Amino acid sequence: MYTSDEQVHLESCRDELYNDYIDALNSQVDKTLPLTEQIAQRFMITVQHYNKLQCCTKDARFPSKAAEIYYFKHIKPLFTSRLELYTLKFKGLLFAPVDPVDAVDYWRAEAGRLELFRQQHADFIDYFESGYTHMDDSYFVSSKISDVPTAWRTAYDVEDNYSSTHDGLVAAILAHQHYHRFASRQLEIIRAGITELNETR
Protein backbone atom coordinates (compact mmCIF):
# COMPACT_ATOMS: atom_id res chain seq x y z
CA MET A 1 0.00 0.00 0.00
CA TYR A 2 1.09 3.60 -0.57
CA THR A 3 1.46 5.86 2.46
CA SER A 4 -0.62 9.00 2.19
CA ASP A 5 2.37 11.39 2.19
CA GLU A 6 4.17 9.49 -0.57
CA GLN A 7 1.10 9.27 -2.77
CA VAL A 8 0.18 12.92 -2.26
CA HIS A 9 3.73 13.99 -3.19
CA LEU A 10 3.81 11.84 -6.31
CA GLU A 11 0.35 12.90 -7.39
CA SER A 12 1.32 16.55 -6.89
CA CYS A 13 4.44 16.16 -9.06
CA ARG A 14 2.45 14.27 -11.68
CA ASP A 15 -0.35 16.83 -11.76
CA GLU A 16 2.02 19.81 -12.03
CA LEU A 17 4.01 18.35 -14.91
CA TYR A 18 0.97 16.89 -16.64
CA ASN A 19 -0.91 20.19 -16.41
CA ASP A 20 2.09 21.97 -17.96
CA TYR A 21 2.07 19.32 -20.67
CA ILE A 22 -1.62 19.77 -21.48
CA ASP A 23 -1.17 23.56 -21.55
CA ALA A 24 1.69 23.11 -24.03
CA LEU A 25 -0.45 20.89 -26.26
CA ASN A 26 -3.21 23.49 -26.24
CA SER A 27 -0.98 26.51 -26.86
CA GLN A 28 1.92 25.28 -28.99
CA VAL A 29 0.27 23.08 -31.61
CA ASP A 30 -0.47 24.92 -34.86
CA LYS A 31 -4.01 23.82 -35.66
CA THR A 32 -3.81 25.32 -39.16
CA LEU A 33 -1.34 22.62 -40.19
CA PRO A 34 -2.34 19.26 -41.73
CA LEU A 35 -3.30 16.67 -39.13
CA THR A 36 -0.12 14.63 -39.59
CA GLU A 37 2.01 17.70 -38.86
CA GLN A 38 -0.09 18.55 -35.80
CA ILE A 39 0.46 15.01 -34.54
CA ALA A 40 4.21 15.37 -35.11
CA GLN A 41 4.18 18.56 -33.04
CA ARG A 42 2.24 16.84 -30.27
CA PHE A 43 4.76 13.99 -30.30
CA MET A 44 7.71 16.38 -29.86
CA ILE A 45 5.98 18.25 -27.04
CA THR A 46 5.37 14.91 -25.34
CA VAL A 47 9.02 13.94 -25.73
CA GLN A 48 10.07 17.21 -24.09
CA HIS A 49 7.83 16.68 -21.08
CA TYR A 50 8.71 13.01 -20.78
CA ASN A 51 12.37 14.04 -20.66
CA LYS A 52 11.50 16.39 -17.79
CA LEU A 53 9.86 13.48 -16.01
CA GLN A 54 12.95 11.34 -16.46
CA CYS A 55 15.16 14.13 -15.11
CA CYS A 56 13.00 14.29 -11.98
CA THR A 57 13.40 10.58 -11.32
CA LYS A 58 17.16 10.70 -11.98
CA ASP A 59 17.65 13.47 -9.44
CA ALA A 60 16.04 11.59 -6.56
CA ARG A 61 15.62 7.97 -5.56
CA PHE A 62 12.17 6.64 -4.87
CA PRO A 63 11.45 6.99 -1.15
CA SER A 64 9.92 3.52 -0.95
CA LYS A 65 8.93 0.48 -2.97
CA ALA A 66 5.34 1.73 -2.89
CA ALA A 67 6.35 5.04 -4.44
CA GLU A 68 8.34 3.22 -7.11
CA ILE A 69 5.36 1.03 -8.01
CA TYR A 70 3.06 4.05 -8.15
CA TYR A 71 5.43 5.84 -10.53
CA PHE A 72 5.70 2.96 -13.01
CA LYS A 73 2.04 2.00 -12.80
CA HIS A 74 0.35 5.40 -12.82
CA ILE A 75 2.71 8.28 -13.65
CA LYS A 76 5.12 7.22 -16.37
CA PRO A 77 2.37 5.68 -18.58
CA LEU A 78 0.55 9.05 -18.68
CA PHE A 79 3.33 10.31 -20.93
CA THR A 80 4.58 7.18 -22.67
CA SER A 81 1.05 6.23 -23.70
CA ARG A 82 0.83 9.54 -25.56
CA LEU A 83 4.08 8.80 -27.38
CA GLU A 84 2.61 5.46 -28.42
CA LEU A 85 -0.69 7.07 -29.40
CA TYR A 86 0.84 9.74 -31.62
CA THR A 87 2.99 7.11 -33.31
CA LEU A 88 -0.11 5.03 -34.04
CA LYS A 89 -2.02 8.06 -35.35
CA PHE A 90 0.81 9.24 -37.57
CA LYS A 91 1.34 5.81 -39.11
CA GLY A 92 -2.41 5.29 -39.44
CA LEU A 93 -2.84 8.47 -41.46
CA LEU A 94 0.36 7.97 -43.44
CA PHE A 95 -0.71 4.57 -44.78
CA ALA A 96 -4.43 5.29 -45.16
CA PRO A 97 -5.67 4.60 -48.73
CA VAL A 98 -6.86 7.55 -50.78
CA ASP A 99 -9.75 5.62 -52.32
CA PRO A 100 -12.76 5.95 -49.94
CA VAL A 101 -13.91 2.35 -50.40
CA ASP A 102 -10.46 1.00 -49.56
CA ALA A 103 -10.25 3.49 -46.69
CA VAL A 104 -13.38 2.04 -45.09
CA ASP A 105 -11.79 -1.40 -44.91
CA TYR A 106 -8.51 0.12 -43.72
CA TRP A 107 -9.97 2.14 -40.85
CA ARG A 108 -12.26 -0.72 -39.85
CA ALA A 109 -9.15 -2.89 -39.46
CA GLU A 110 -7.35 -0.10 -37.57
CA ALA A 111 -10.29 0.26 -35.20
CA GLY A 112 -10.15 -3.50 -34.66
CA ARG A 113 -6.58 -3.38 -33.38
CA LEU A 114 -7.82 -2.75 -29.83
CA GLU A 115 -9.74 -6.02 -29.67
CA LEU A 116 -6.77 -7.97 -31.05
CA PHE A 117 -4.52 -6.33 -28.48
CA ARG A 118 -6.93 -7.18 -25.67
CA GLN A 119 -7.01 -10.80 -26.78
CA GLN A 120 -3.21 -11.02 -26.89
CA HIS A 121 -2.80 -9.57 -23.39
CA ALA A 122 -6.07 -10.60 -21.78
CA ASP A 123 -4.63 -11.76 -18.45
CA PHE A 124 -2.63 -8.62 -17.76
CA ILE A 125 -5.39 -6.29 -18.97
CA ASP A 126 -7.80 -8.01 -16.58
CA TYR A 127 -5.25 -7.57 -13.78
CA PHE A 128 -4.72 -3.88 -14.54
CA GLU A 129 -8.32 -2.88 -15.19
CA SER A 130 -9.62 -4.82 -12.20
CA GLY A 131 -7.36 -2.84 -9.87
CA TYR A 132 -5.43 -5.86 -8.59
CA THR A 133 -2.12 -5.20 -6.83
CA HIS A 134 -0.77 -8.60 -5.78
CA MET A 135 1.74 -8.74 -8.67
CA ASP A 136 2.80 -5.09 -8.54
CA ASP A 137 6.08 -5.97 -6.78
CA SER A 138 7.03 -7.95 -9.88
CA TYR A 139 5.43 -5.84 -12.62
CA PHE A 140 6.19 -2.27 -11.57
CA VAL A 141 9.67 -1.96 -10.07
CA SER A 142 12.88 -0.77 -11.72
CA SER A 143 14.33 -3.35 -14.06
CA LYS A 144 17.19 -3.81 -16.45
CA ILE A 145 16.10 -3.03 -19.98
CA SER A 146 17.06 -6.59 -20.94
CA ASP A 147 14.36 -7.86 -18.57
CA VAL A 148 11.64 -5.95 -20.40
CA PRO A 149 9.99 -8.19 -23.04
CA THR A 150 11.29 -7.21 -26.46
CA ALA A 151 7.80 -6.60 -27.86
CA TRP A 152 7.12 -4.00 -25.14
CA ARG A 153 10.37 -2.05 -25.44
CA THR A 154 10.33 1.38 -27.01
CA ALA A 155 12.88 3.71 -28.55
CA TYR A 156 12.61 6.10 -25.60
CA ASP A 157 13.33 3.48 -22.93
CA VAL A 158 16.95 2.47 -23.35
CA GLU A 159 18.48 2.83 -19.87
CA ASP A 160 18.46 0.32 -17.04
CA ASN A 161 16.35 1.13 -13.97
CA TYR A 162 14.12 3.69 -15.71
CA SER A 163 11.66 1.06 -16.85
CA SER A 164 9.71 -1.74 -15.25
CA THR A 165 8.76 -4.95 -17.00
CA HIS A 166 5.11 -3.91 -17.45
CA ASP A 167 4.79 -0.10 -17.57
CA GLY A 168 5.21 -0.27 -21.35
CA LEU A 169 2.25 -2.58 -21.55
CA VAL A 170 0.13 -0.17 -19.49
CA ALA A 171 1.12 2.58 -21.93
CA ALA A 172 0.16 0.36 -24.85
CA ILE A 173 -3.26 -0.37 -23.33
CA LEU A 174 -4.02 3.33 -22.92
CA ALA A 175 -2.68 4.16 -26.40
CA HIS A 176 -4.76 1.46 -28.09
CA GLN A 177 -7.90 2.65 -26.31
CA HIS A 178 -7.40 6.22 -27.56
CA TYR A 179 -6.40 5.03 -31.03
CA HIS A 180 -9.57 2.93 -31.27
CA ARG A 181 -11.63 6.08 -30.80
CA PHE A 182 -9.51 7.94 -33.36
CA ALA A 183 -9.77 5.16 -35.98
CA SER A 184 -13.50 4.80 -35.37
CA ARG A 185 -13.91 8.53 -35.96
CA GLN A 186 -11.94 8.33 -39.21
CA LEU A 187 -14.21 5.48 -40.28
CA GLU A 188 -17.30 7.58 -39.55
CA ILE A 189 -15.91 10.48 -41.59
CA ILE A 190 -15.11 8.27 -44.58
CA ARG A 191 -18.52 6.60 -44.49
CA ALA A 192 -20.29 9.96 -44.25
CA GLY A 193 -18.32 11.18 -47.26
CA ILE A 194 -19.30 8.13 -49.30
CA THR A 195 -22.94 8.54 -48.33
CA GLU A 196 -22.89 12.21 -49.30
CA LEU A 197 -21.21 11.41 -52.60
CA ASN A 198 -23.81 8.73 -53.44
CA GLU A 199 -26.67 11.10 -52.58
CA THR A 200 -25.38 13.73 -55.00
CA ARG A 201 -25.16 11.33 -57.94
Give the up-direction half-sphere exposure of residue 200: CA atoms within 13 A in the CB hemisphere: 6
Beta carbons within 10 angstroms of residue 11's beta carbon: 14
Average pLDDT across each block of 10 residues of the chain; the chain has 201 residues. List them in order.
56 80 96 96 95 74 84 92 96 96 96 97 97 95 77 70 88 97 96 63 48
For residue 70, what are the contacts with CB-CB under 8 A and spacing of at least 6? 2, 6, 7, 10
Q: What is the pLDDT of residues 128-184, one digit of tens each?
A: 999 999 999 999 998 877 777 777 777 777 666 678 899 999 999 999 999 999 999
Residue 99 Rama label (left phi>0; alpha psi -120 to 50; beta): beta
Domain, as residue range, for 71: 4-200
Residue 173 has a pLDDT of 96
Structural domains in the chain (count): 1
**Threshold 0.85, pTM exceeds:** yes
At 122 the pLDDT is 97
pLDDT at 61: 67
Burial tier of 23 (Cβ tally within 10 Å: 0-12, 13-18, 19+): exposed
